[in-house]
Amino acid sequence: MNTKRILYISVLLGALAPVLIGAAPADQKNKKGESSEMIKPPIAEKIEKKLTIHGHTRVDPYYWLNDRENPKTIDYLNAENNYTKSMLSHTEKFQEDLFEEIVGRIKQTDNSVPYKTNGYFYYTSFEESKEYPIYCRKKGTMDAAEEVMLDVNEMAKGHSYYHVADFSVSPDNKLLVFGVDIVGRRLYTLFFKNLETGEIYADQVLNTTGSGEWADDNKTVFYTMRDETLRPHKIFRHQFGQDSVKDVEIYHEADDTFRTGVYKTKSRKYIMIAVMSTLTTEYRFLESSNPTGEFTVVQPRQRNHEYHVAHFGDDFYIHTNWNAKNFRLMKTSVNKTGMEHWQEVIGHRDDTLIEGIEIFEDFLVVEQRYNGLTELRIIEWETWREHKIDFGEETYTASVATNPEFASTWLRFNYSSLTTPNSTFDYHMKTKEKKLLKQQEVVGDFDPSRYHARRLYAVAEDGSKIPISLVYKKGIDSEGGNPLLLYGYGSYGYSIDPFFSSVRLSLLDRGFIFAIAHIRGGQEMGRYWYEEGKLLKKMNTFTDFIACGDFLVKRKLTSPDKMFAMGGSAGGLLMGVIANMRPDLFKGILASVPFVDVVTTMLDDSIPLTTGEYDEWGNPNKKEYYDFMLSYSPYDNVVPKDYPAMLVTTGLHDSQVQYWEPAKWVAKLRDKKTGDNILLLHTNMEAGHSGASGRFHRFREVALQYSFIFDLLGITPGSPGN
């Protein structure tokens, strides 16, 4: 099984501060060749800030934008929003049409596939025209009366942003604990609800990660609290009915490069505390029936040792990279958990990455990655006979779904591909029978047979083969220089699998090819793929993406005047670097919540996520890493040159990539760039890293992005293919 704020800003609309806004060096039109109205982009004031370390000084003229409480900062962000709106005003009808088109494919009234645990079936319901989920359950059978646990639509009234992170039901099925964020900064308040009476109690716990785990006494809840940098750093024990000021601190992770969390094993027998950094983990366990007892360490942390723990019977099963780059599976008695007692269950393979396990009474399911694709490997405990599920497509994504019961012989898994909508299956692990329980319904005339998915390989500078997953509508000219959107991420070992998106049809049906570059820094090709794209090898991530773009042009699938690049967060860093390195390769770039001020951010340990990510990016307090980061940091490498057209998006309350990174980047680009390609910044003043809450509203930003690239190509609502 794969392991898995409070500051309100007054946004002032209206007149802009004269000291902040000046004239642009060159005027731009808001409608290409069709309007004489000239719009001047906002120009941010320069206030010199010297930043010195290792005997080297950088001058940051836009450092002042780091202060979100400064009215000038808010004025500047509003000025950029107004400029973006003005420059794209002629596309507003198209944006609305695209939004309606995207939302029109979504089944308005829908339910998730129910799963059964502790005597109840749980599922999520959506109702027509409503933004938020309704969390429901039924006792014993799906024919029983429906119990609405949380109607988030009702709860969200009066809030511009509302997110329920997680919920947990007490063992006696009577109480619910759930976490709510009303800002978008991923700082949650825990609430308690009586599922029999509907009463929401006065109990509240602030500054949490949004989830709680019940002990067997139906009174004790363990939860994780965040510090001032939003790092999950402490575990507390809360007694239901008592003021949270009386909560007992159970664990404090003092090392600021680590974060912590708490969860319950599938067996429900143990409460587990997980402590994690990029390269190192450590676990503690306590019987759920003994909530006031002392936690026991499974295996003390060791640098570069990652392990994850599952419980079954009398043993812990340990998914570990101990002497195994691609991980292996071990087991040990719950009474003797130290590494010296571990026994191997599944060995290491150089060509296969073990990503996780799911344990049943009679079967073990291994989720593994081979040749860039996920495999589900079924092993029978008694005979050790094994087989893999055959998915029958060249490129796809599959994952183990919710399987809360040990006794089942049915494995529930999720499946999709670039042409197959998201599907949930039950698979009988003995007979190999496969039952489709639900497939995402795409409203309208969608027919998967009209689209084609394939996998190609680009060759990187060092000879490495970089997989590219593509999807397009059949009938396009395979050597016709088609419009193409190339997506990339390439960090944290996070694999970008080829999944289905109904939203993407708005591109494909207008003749676009959509491509995913499976670049190093991800983990698609095994653990080494990740390690070859991090720290002092990070440049591989960027040159791999460029190699994919060059390959697609060489194959005549697209051309530089029709190819666009897209990435978000760490993928936004990728966008910033490729804009500096190869601005000639792309017609335009979409950068979402981009991590572009790498050096300054990684030197500021007061910013969320900084210290915990030294093992990903390096610690710039060490000169070797400082110099290397400085060589690629997008903000530090902006120079006078012709950049592609760019649309940059961010959120004011972003807790992961602070809004000022993209804001400063755009300000510097405005000052330095040559040529007349459009540069736009859009800040969601009411959201964070994940954008707007709600299932529909978030697609307005997608419509904005799509209309931006369509406009650059002259695609209008009346163009062929619409």
CA-based radius of gyration for the chain = 26
Measuring CA to CA, which residue among 514, 518, 419, 525 is closest to residue 468?
A: 518
Instruction: Using DSSP, state whether 71 is helix, strand or coil.
Output: helix
**Length of the chain in terms of residues written:** 722
Instruction: Using DSSP, state whether 124 is helix, strand or coil.
Output: strand
Measuring CA to CA, which residue among 543, 545, 488, 480 is closest to residue 513?
A: 480
Going by DSSP bridges, is the β-strand pair 28-29/465-473 parallel, antiparallel, or unpaired?
unpaired
CA angle, residues 620, 184, 176, in degrees to nearest 5: 120
What residues contact residue 718 under an 8 Å CB cut-off, 6+ apart?
none
**Strand (E) positions, 554-698?**
563-568, 588-592, 645-651, 679-684
Instruction: Check 689, 693, 707, 711 and give the catalytic one.
Output: 689
- With contact defined as beta carbons under 8 Å apart, do 404 and 119 qualify? no
Q: What is the DSSP letter of 464?
A: -
- With contact defined as beta carbons under 8 Å apart, do 150 and 135 qualify? yes
Burial of 634 by CB count in 10 Å (0-12 exposed, 13-18 middle, 19+ buried)? buried
DSSP per-residue letters across 522-569: B-TT-HHHHHTTSGGGTHHHHHHHHHHHHHHHHTTS--TTTEEEEEET
Token pair recorded at residue 701: 């930003």
d(CA 689, CA 401): 25
User: In angstroms, how far is CA 400 from the centroid of its own chain?
Assistant: 18
- With contact defined as beta carbons under 8 Å apart, do 547 and 541 qualify? no
According to DSSP, the residues that pair with 386 across neighbouring strands are 379
Instruction: Check 170, 654, 655, 682 and give the catalytic one.
Output: 654
Helix (H) or strand (E) holding 98: helix 92-104
According to DSSP, the residues that pair with 366 across neighbouring strands are 357, 377
d(CA 126, CA 128): 7
- Whether 112 sits among the annotated catalytic residues: the reply is no
Instruction: Using DSSP, state whether 188 is helix, strand or coil.
Output: strand
Instruction: Using DSSP, state whether 485 is helix, strand or coil.
Output: strand
- Whether 636 sits among the annotated catalytic residues: the reply is no
Token pair recorded at residue 223: 């939860």
User: Is the four-CA dihedral 632, 638, 641, 642 of positive or negative sign?
Assistant: positive
Measuring CA to CA, which residue among 348, 349, 367, 347 is closest to residue 357?
A: 367
According to DSSP, the residues that pair with 169 across neighbouring strands are 176
Token pair recorded at residue 450: 């009209």
- Whether 569 sits among the annotated catalytic residues: the reply is yes
Token pair recorded at residue 264: 């319950």
Dihedral angle of Cα 659, 660, 665, 668, to the nearest 10 degrees: 150
Instruction: Check 501, 569, 592, 655 and give the catalytic one.
Output: 569
Token pair recorded at residue 675: 């040529």
Measuring CA to CA, which residue among 20, 22, 4 is closest to residue 12?
A: 20
- With contact defined as beta carbons under 8 Å apart, do 189 and 204 qualify? yes
User: Is the four-CA dihedral 682, 683, 684, 690 of positive or negative sign?
Assistant: positive
Q: In what order do the strands lie in the sheet with 434-439?
A: 397-400, 410-416, 423-428, 434-439
Annotated active-site positions, please? 569, 654, 689
